[in-house]
Chains A and B, each alone.
Chain A
Amino acid sequence: MTNGYLPFEKPLIELRDKIVELKKFTEEKAIDLSEEIATLEKKAEKLEKEIYGNLTTWQKVQIARHTSRPTTLFYIRSIFTDFMEMHGDRLYGDDPAIIGGIAKLDGRPVTVIGHERGTDTKDKIARNFGLPHPEGYRKALRLMQQANKFGRPIITFIDTQGAYPGIEAEERGQSEAIARNLREMAGFSVPIICVVTGEGGSGGALGIGVGNRLLMLEHAYYSVISPEGAAAILWRDASKAQQAAEALKITSADLKSLGVIDEIVPEPKGGAHRNPDQQAAYIKKAIVKHLNSLLKLTPEELVEDRYQKYARIGRYLEPASKGSR
């Protein structure tokens, strides 16, 4: 784990270490082991496919939570140019758990917003591990209103365990801050694209997540409740989080089949942290593609497109209506 590998990756890592060892041995002792090495390399390739091709929900959660997983600031700097960060909600304070500002996407001005969980320990603490307070959502709202005013598309990056559950957060109206964002985001007449990059933690994620397009990284998860929280409610046992994660259907593939997300953005083998630059490129490609199609819509059509997206989500039975409408 110290080198950033997850428990389920262990067999693969051991095999790769062995290959390195054999190669070194070949060099040092001038013995030809190329056949053995080739065999092992083939084996490693197969094992890699097996492991990363069949990740369980829980393994994906572990990747989504990986300490080295790239965060919003990295993606903003890689995907956009000329990023200017803006601060504060003009009401109470500046919440570093949500960052935002203006930037250019291939030269086009956009507004970018995202949860920022921080990179090193000090940064993580300062950013409250990406758990926002109401002022974070209100800063996001202010920046989105600004984008709407000046006709800039809005791109948001979702990566939070949830909105911060604290005394002050409740006093300052955590519920109202999120609720207002949901309503206002529904009404903006500019394109909105939301990307779930890591953890999509319930209302705290949704608070910057109402868009025309919802994209999700392959190993990200998005859930109404944390697997641990669900396990505590269901079985009074937070250690059964793995089971809860399966039951909640929280992977990108699950959300695609439930009709919630529009596209799964692939990850490099082993997860975004294995090749952050490649990951950023994948995300950029998806954003550009969807933005280009959204830019063909009129402001009214953009609002209606978003309305219909959410109106369609949900599963229920409606026996032959008696025409109550």
Chain B
Amino acid sequence: MFKELFRKQRKYATIPSEQAKKEIPEGIMQKCPSCGTILIAKELEKNLKVCKSCGYHFPMSAPERIGSIVDVGRFFEYDAELLSEDPLSFPDYTKKLKQDQEKTKLNEAVVTGEGTIGGYPAVIGVMDSRFRMGSMGSVVGEKIARAAERATTKRYPFILFCASGGARMQEGVLSLMQMAKTSAALEKMNREKVLFVSVLTNPTTGGVSASFASLGDINIAEPGALIGFAGRRVIEQTVRQKLPDDFQTAEFLLKHGQLDMVVSRLELRDTLIKILEFHA
């Protein structure tokens, strides 16, 4: 077992997908929004988009995340063909979907599938905050519920990387009901004693935070990730007092008992492999 683990680990390299590579042309510099250090994009990418000088975690696209976690060439996508409709005929929704599809080369805000991590099979879901802020509409809810159902049937652990502003306003109450749909699928998983690991990345808020993201057997967050139910501005307007600086950060949630651990992205894959090994 350990031998295999190490062998797989050696194979571990960041192989972002083609489209992710194209987004940051070579040689371009990027400024860290946290410490201001100018970083070379290519090096930043190699460091899993973590600032070398302060540890700030830049947002990661779904293809980048899969490249950083899943064994090379071992990812088989589920339900990629599912497309959103515009059930409410909501102003500009169709147009915005199209824009985000072109921008991200993704059909929707979550990519689901199965693969191996350090040789351990798992069902994996990754939300992409570039697509409608990672918000959950019918397609996101359906893909996550189906992924959970497959994990339950196959008895594979389900690892879900959350990055979402919450339920998608443009699909109205149908979005809200996806919270119930995904949570019900996780209830089945829970009943069947199949492992669910929720990885909360920046941001995980609103209806996503108040459904599947909080329901992991193990809840892990990336450092500095914004995690919370209500928006900061709404809270400020309601309570009319200054909020603590670290309010709704991963560290704040850890302190208040809402998380199992905060793990740097540089150690995340190893941490997940360890957890998978425990549950194999």
Contacts and interface: CB of A to CB of B under 8 A. Distances in A.
Interface stretch (B122-130, B178-186, B264-272): B178-186
Given A182-B183, A187-B190, A318-B81, 14 more contacts: A164-B238, A178-B229, A183-B215, A186-B187, A203-B229, A224-B176, A247-B88, A255-B173, A311-B184, A316-B82, A319-B83, A324-B77, A325-B146, A325-B150
A172 B211 CA distance: 16
15 contacts: A173-B257, A179-B213, A202-B167, A202-B176, A210-B183, A248-B88, A249-B88, A249-B172, A250-B173, A258-B174, A310-B177, A314-B174, A317-B83, A324-B77, A324-B79
Contacts of A148: none
Interface string A54-83: 000000000000000000000000000000
**3 pairs of A and B residues whose beta carbons are closest in the complex:** A165-B230, A314-B138, A182-B183
A171 B253 CA distance: 7
B108 to A, nearest CB: 9
Interface in B53-92: 76-85, 87-88, 90-91
A325 B247 CA distance: 41
B211 A319 contact: no
B139 interface: yes
B184 A306 contact: yes
Nearest to A163: B229
Contacts of B177: 206, 260, 310, 313-314
A172 B230 CA distance: 13
A183 B78 contact: no
B235 A317 contact: no
How big is the A interface, by class? 35 or more
B35 interface: no
B235 A166 contact: yes
Interface string A240-263: 000000011110001100101000
A234 B210 contact: no
A203 B79 contact: no
Which of B78, B137, B174 lies at the interface centre, i.e. has the most chain A CB atoms within 10 A of its CB? B174
B202 interface: no
B173 A183 contact: no
Nearest to B183: A182
B104 interface: no
A206 B174 contact: no
Nearest to B150: A325
Contacts of A180: 214-215
Given A248-B88, A306-B184, A307-B188, A175 B169 contact: no
A319 to B, nearest CB: 5
Contacts of B138: 314-316
B231 A314 contact: no
Contacts of A209: 180
Which among B83, B173, B258 has the greatest number of chain A C-beta atoms within 10 A?
B173
B207 A202 contact: yes
Nearest to A324: B78
A260 B181 CA distance: 12
A283 B3 CA distance: 65
A167 interface: yes
Contact of B210 (A174, A247, A318): A174
Interface in B231-279: 231, 234-235, 238-239, 241, 243-244, 247-248, 256-258
B206 A203 contact: yes
Nearest to B205: A175
B238 A165 contact: yes
Interface string A179-202: 110111011000000000000001
Contacts of A314: 137-139, 141-142, 174, 177-178, 181
Interface string B186-198: 1110110000000
A186 B88 contact: no
Nearest to B212: A179
Interface string A9-45: 0000000000000000000000000000000000000
A156 interface: no
B173 A260 contact: yes
Given A187-B191, A203-B229, A176 B183 contact: no
Given A317-B82, A321-B81, A206 B179 contact: yes
A9 to B, nearest CB: 27
A160 interface: no
A85 interface: no
Contact of A258 (B87, B137, B244, B247): B87
B135 to A, nearest CB: 10
A299 to B, nearest CB: 13
Contacts of B227: 175
